[in-house]
Amino acid sequence: MSVESLFPRLEPLLPKVQKPIQYVGGELNSTVKDWDEATVRWALMYPDAYEVGLPNQGVQILYEILNELPDTMAERTYAVWPDLEALMRAEGVPQFTVDAHRPVRAFDLLGVSFSTELGYTNLLTALDLAGIPLHAVDRTDDDPIVLAGGHAAFNPEPIADFLDAAVLGDGEQIAIAISEVIREWKNEGEPGGRDGVLLRLAETGGVYVPKFYDVEYLPDGRIKRVVPNRPGVPSRVFKHTVMDLDEWPYPKKPLVPLAETVHERFSVEIFRGCTRGCRFCQAGMITRPVRERSITVIGDMVANGIKESGFNEVGLLSLSSADHSEIAEVAKGLADRYEGTNTSLSLPSTRVDAFNIDLANEFSRNGRRSGLTFAPEGGSERMRKVINKMVTEEDLIRTVTTAYTQGWRQVKLYFMCGLPTEEDIDVLGIADLAKKVIKAGREATGSRDIRCTVSIGGFVPKPHTPFQWAAQCDHETVDRRLRELRNSLRNDKQYGKAIGFRYHDGKPSIVEGLLSRGDRRVGAVIKAVWADGGRFDGWSEHFSYERWMKSAAEVGVDVDWFTIREREEHEVLPWDHLDAGLDREWLWQDWQDAVNDVEVEDCRWTPCYDCGVCPTMGTEIQIGPTGRKLLPLTVV
């Protein structure tokens, strides 16, 4: 049965909305396949506006891989802005894909990639606009399977009622495997209907189907246990790990946006995983082990991506790009290859050492010097031990001074506030550090023309990290510490003018904390916020703390209990049945080490410290120089 394009109904609405081009589709490298020739049809959603969603690597990779399968198709959909939402509701136009403007409800699957929990209300808008019941239990065989992935899906419990399924980890192989299950089930005449296919997916152990698990609570509100409620459903669900990145060199045909987006460059992921062991970093913990892409595949992907997209900026992505074992060769090889062309290279550099400045120098050969970012994260030596960020004050001052002496004028320093065990003095230490940096920089360069910007983010304890048991700092304390820090910087006559200060208030972090470590009861808050008009919570102009608190109170959810309460070792956590590969006892030990200011080394270069990932998942760290080079030079 063919599905009509909604574009004739959408088009008259577009002149009345902001940035209508974002809804038009037809980007370079986008794909429209024949509806009737596909057996398995995916709608892929990034639950934010086009300008944020289009560059998302995860969605682009899955879009391409799924469309390469002969009988599978994938189209994209993004969150529509409130102006278009209102018109779509008034005119009865449902949520549509941007590729062929097909109704999302007509697809077999709606796969949603959550990088952050603040996209949850946008999921509800999309479901509602699509005509898909918000609650999974109300859906019929005519509705798509609503499936979540991405980092926030490692604890999907707050949105469990709205999901049919969730997957943990790398999406490439599991998206293909899910497509195969759907294809077989459809070819067999869809036995068992919706639950039949969900059961097939759940039985694999690699797809979490929330409604097949019952959550039991203790009288004090903690979770007693989470148990499967039907035979064949495993008690734990495991994450997916692509072991050989060279076999998956995607995106091969990067999407080129029609409207302005947050990143307009071609990005190549140079490795996945991180074993530095920063205790606050969920991404580092859940993506272990380290898997590097080889220098030759990186070089080929860069050349191919530029050719296919026409982008003139290339970003080398990973959680800590300077840690690739051949990054010096990669940087030099690419800088040599593209010297004199209009292609510029960028590397998000956050490691605090001189090596990063060497890399930045290589990469700025072809372009302007935009600024360097270093992330000591904690303001005092003790704080950095707690979070396992092995950077001394001496390291930081030496590194930044080197940058100034090599001609960099602007350096950004990133810190967090509200970290476990933090006291006022740790935050005020940020001001001391920044002043010392400027002082040393002026002495070394003999110039007053140097600046640093101190940028502060609020810490949110995340599932599957050693801080998953920690009490989140209340927003009043965070705000007070940040006020004192600001005053300390502003009131300094000698250095204050050379130091910029950027921070957000602590309230959004509390909502993020509620959603990050919440359980199924938090779903009622999300729904109430959405019903009250909550949209685009990641955008400060749309976010309303008061709305979240009011909604939580209305549905009887105690926000403090979920956020500023410290958990005990054996409390059942909402995500304990979702296996990120990490050993729970190791995480607890690491939490105890944090409290006692004990650091652990990176297991890439030291003996394994038994975090559990490699033995549990049958994987291993993959690093090591290949000895290959991008030379001989070819200007592409």
Binding site for ligand SF4 (CB under 6 A): 275, 288-289, 603, 608-614, 621
When the beta carbons of 209 and 603 are compared against ligand SF4, the nearer one is 603
Nearest distance from C-beta of residue 154 to ligand SF4, angstroms: 16
Measured distance CA(619)–CA(290) in Å, rounded? 10
Nearest distance from C-beta of residue 249 to ligand SF4, angstroms: 24
H/E segment holding residue 176: helix 172-187
The backbone torsions φ and ψ at residue 149, rounded to the nearest 5 degrees and listed phi first, read -145, -170
When the beta carbons of 177 and 614 are compared against ligand SF4, the nearer one is 614
Q: Are 412 and 371 in contact (CB under 8 A)?
A: yes
Q: Whose CA is closest to 59, among 1, 118, 115?
A: 115
When the beta carbons of 136 and 621 are compared against ligand SF4, the nearer one is 621
When the beta carbons of 318 and 343 are compared against ligand SF4, the nearer one is 318
Nearest distance from C-beta of residue 604 to ligand SF4, angstroms: 7
When the beta carbons of 539 and 605 are compared against ligand SF4, the nearer one is 605
Contacts (Cβ under 8 Å, ≥6 apart) of 468: 461, 462, 517, 567, 573, 587, 591
Nearest distance from C-beta of residue 615 to ligand SF4, angstroms: 6
Nearest distance from C-beta of residue 601 to ligand SF4, angstroms: 10
When the beta carbons of 176 and 614 are compared against ligand SF4, the nearer one is 614
Q: Is 285 exposed, middle or buried (0-12, 13-18, 19+ CB in 10 A)?
A: buried
Nearest distance from C-beta of residue 362 to ligand SF4, angstroms: 29
Measured distance CA(81)–CA(64) in Å, rounded? 26
Nearest distance from C-beta of residue 242 to ligand SF4, angstroms: 16
The dihedral region occupied by 406, where left means phi > 0, alpha psi between -120 and 50, and beta the remainder, is alpha
When the beta carbons of 561 and 605 are compared against ligand SF4, the nearer one is 605
Nearest distance from C-beta of residue 598 to ligand SF4, angstroms: 15
Q: Are 176 and 127 in contact (CB under 8 A)?
A: no
Q: Whose CA is closest to 588, among 564, 613, 606, 571?
A: 571
Q: Are 387 and 369 in contact (CB under 8 A)?
A: no
When the beta carbons of 7 and 588 are compared against ligand SF4, the nearer one is 588
Residue in this structure with the two tokens 């549509």, named with its chain if needed = 96
Q: Is 243 exposed, middle or buried (0-12, 13-18, 19+ CB in 10 A)?
A: middle
**N- to C-terminal Cα separation, the chain:** 46
When the beta carbons of 154 and 543 are compared against ligand SF4, the nearer one is 154
Kindly provide the b/e burial profile for residues 12-41, where b requires at least 16 CB atoms within 10 angstroms of the residue's own CB.
Answer: ebbeebebbebbbbebeebbbbebeebbbb
Nearest distance from C-beta of residue 289 to ligand SF4, angstroms: 5
**Residue type at 553?**
A
Partner residues linked to 457 by β-bridges: 416
Q: Whose CA is closest to 507, among 536, 483, 543, 471?
A: 543
Nearest distance from C-beta of residue 586 to ligand SF4, angstroms: 8
H/E segment holding residue 226: strand 223-228
DSSP category for residue 138: G
DSSP category for residue 104: G
Nearest distance from C-beta of residue 277 to ligand SF4, angstroms: 8
When the beta carbons of 152 and 621 are compared against ligand SF4, the nearer one is 621
DSSP category for residue 254: -
Instruction: Give the relative orientation of helices 424-445 and 393-405 as an angle to the nearest 10 degrees.
Output: 30
When the beta carbons of 71 and 610 are compared against ligand SF4, the nearer one is 610
When the beta carbons of 559 and 613 are compared against ligand SF4, the nearer one is 613
Nearest distance from C-beta of residue 356 to ligand SF4, angstroms: 23
Measured distance CA(557)–CA(561) in Å, rounded? 8
DSSP category for residue 632: S
